[in-house]
């Protein structure tokens, strides 16, 4: 009888060992989901939403359009030039139908004709609406649609700096 009890306890212990070992192994295989650089840079840029406009600014106290983009990309270790005009020479030019999240949009706004003088970061694409975050002199860091007449007219090109 004593041998049966010892055998039964041994079997139960063995089964429990196998069960907990398997359960531990399964839970250790679960890894945190990977967050892409694109998602990170968009999240960083969106964290500045509502920050006031400040020429040359690169902090949450105030920033301009290229400061927003440069600061956001710098936080994911992607270094971009400081001006929107210089930024527009980086990356791969893409057509509007190929624009993806994280791409940069470059503009020639009316008051400063002749060159690229504004940049925004694509944060959302909904059907054919392309939304981008940028910093404007009047409203600071905000999101607009490329389909809005003002931005559609001022749009010059899109570039991809992330793969």
- What's the N-to-C CA distance of the chain in angstroms? 70
Identified catalytic residue from 45, 53, 118, 122: 118
Task: Establish whether 118 is a catalytic residue.
Answer: yes
Identified catalytic residue from 63, 65, 68, 158: 65
Identified catalytic residue from 119, 134, 140, 161: 134
Task: Establish whether 65 is a catalytic residue.
Answer: yes
Which tokens go with 97? 């139908």
Q: Which strand ranges, in their side-by-side order, compose the sheet holding 140-145?
A: 92-94, 155-160, 104-107, 118-126, 129-136, 140-145
Catalytic residues: 65, 118, 134
């Amino acid at each position: 009888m004593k041998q049966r009890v010892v055998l039964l306890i041994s079997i139960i212990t063995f089964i429990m060992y196998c069960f907990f070992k398997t359960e531990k192994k399964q839970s250790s295989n679960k890894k945190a989901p990977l967050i892409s650089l694109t998602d990170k840079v968009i999240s960083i840029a969106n964290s500045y939403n509502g920050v006031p406009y400040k020429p040359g600014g690169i902090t949450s106290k105030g920033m301009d359009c290229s400061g927003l983009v440069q600061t956001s990309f710098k936080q994911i270790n992607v270094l971009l030039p400081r001006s929107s005009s210089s930024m527009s020479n980086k990356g791969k030019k893409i057509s509007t139908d190929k624009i993806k999240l994280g791409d940069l949009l470059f503009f020639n706004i009316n008051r400063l004709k002749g060159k690229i003088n504004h940049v925004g970061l694509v944060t959302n694409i909904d059907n054919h609406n392309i939304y981008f975050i940028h910093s404007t002199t009047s409203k600071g860091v905000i999101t607009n649609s490329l389909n809005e007449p003002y931005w559609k007219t001022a749009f010059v090109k899109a570039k991809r700096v992330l793969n």
